[in-house]
Amino acid sequence: MNISIKGAYGDSNFGDDLLMIVFEDFINTNIKNKSLNFIGAESNYVSKFLQSSSYNNQQKNDVLIYGGGTQFFSFIEKSTLRTKLKNNISNNPVKILKKAFKKISPDKKPVINGEKAFWVLD
């Protein structure tokens, strides 16, 4: 049986490369009479991690497994104002609002009086 596992291997991503090693160990232990191949980025270092599997071999697959999460998730490539706002608002909206108010009116001082808080205009 020809098995290939496709992932973000060879992209200098420790987590995905470690996952590749775990997959190889698990499959070698549990499945006999197989040819195991990993598919990923062209890289010289990956094959040094593999014990008995091939890397980017053009074999005809009986089974193709998508192993790893990176191919299902797209990282933000550019850091634009829009992406910064989107990420910060979803992570911590209060923090971004405080920063915005501070930029808009730096001379305003918060006043806390008992249970009430308000801005003092100079």
Q: Is 43 exposed, middle or buried (0-12, 13-18, 19+ CB in 10 A)?
A: middle
Give the pLDDT band (50/70/90) at residue 80.
confident
- Write down the mean pLDDT value for the chain: 78
The answer to whether the beta carbons of residues 74 and 81 sit under 8 Å apart is no
> What residue type is assigned to position 87 of the chain?
N
Report pLDDT digits (tens) over 88-121.
Answer: 666 676 776 777 777 776 665 555 555 554 455 5
Query: Tokens 């808009």 label which residue?
Result: 104
Helix axes 81-91, 93-104, angle to 10 degrees: 130
Q: pTM of this prediction?
A: 0.56
